[in-house]
Amino acid sequence: MSAVTNNRLIFDLIKHQYRPYDAHKEFGRGFAAYQAGNFRNPHEADSLSAQAWDLGIEAAMRCERATAA
C-alpha cells in the first residue's frame, strides 16, 4: 500500500471520530488553517462554527502526528 493511501486511510479514520462536526464547513476550514499555520479561530466563542473550527484544527494535528515519518 502506498504512503498516499495510508495517509488517506488515517485521515478518514480520524475525521470519522469528529462526527457530526466533520460535515460542517468550518471543520474543513480549521483543518486547512492549521496546515497553513493559522491557529486563530475567527468565530465567536462557544458557537457551533467555533467548535467545528477548533475540532478541525485538532484533527489536523492528530493527522500530522499520525503520518509523521
CA 46 → CA 21, 27, 42, 50, 54, distances in Å?
14, 15, 12, 6, 11
Query: What pLDDT, on a 0 to 100 scale, did the predictor assign at position 4?
Result: 74
Nearest Cα to 61, choosing from 25, 33, 23?
Answer: 33
Cis peptide upstream of residue 20 (ω within 30 degrees of 0): yes
Question: pLDDT truncated to tens, each residue of the chain (69 aa)?
Answer: 677 778 889 999 999 999 999 999 999 999 999 999 999 999 999 999 999 999 999 999 999 999 886
Query: What pLDDT, on a 0 to 100 scale, did the predictor assign at position 64?
Result: 94
Query: What pLDDT, on a 0 to 100 scale, did the predictor assign at position 30?
Result: 97
CB atoms within 10 A of CB 29: 18
Q: Are 48 and 20 in contact, with CB atoms under 8 Å apart?
A: no
Query: What pLDDT, on a 0 to 100 scale, did the predictor assign at position 58?
Result: 97
- pTM (2 d.p.): 0.88
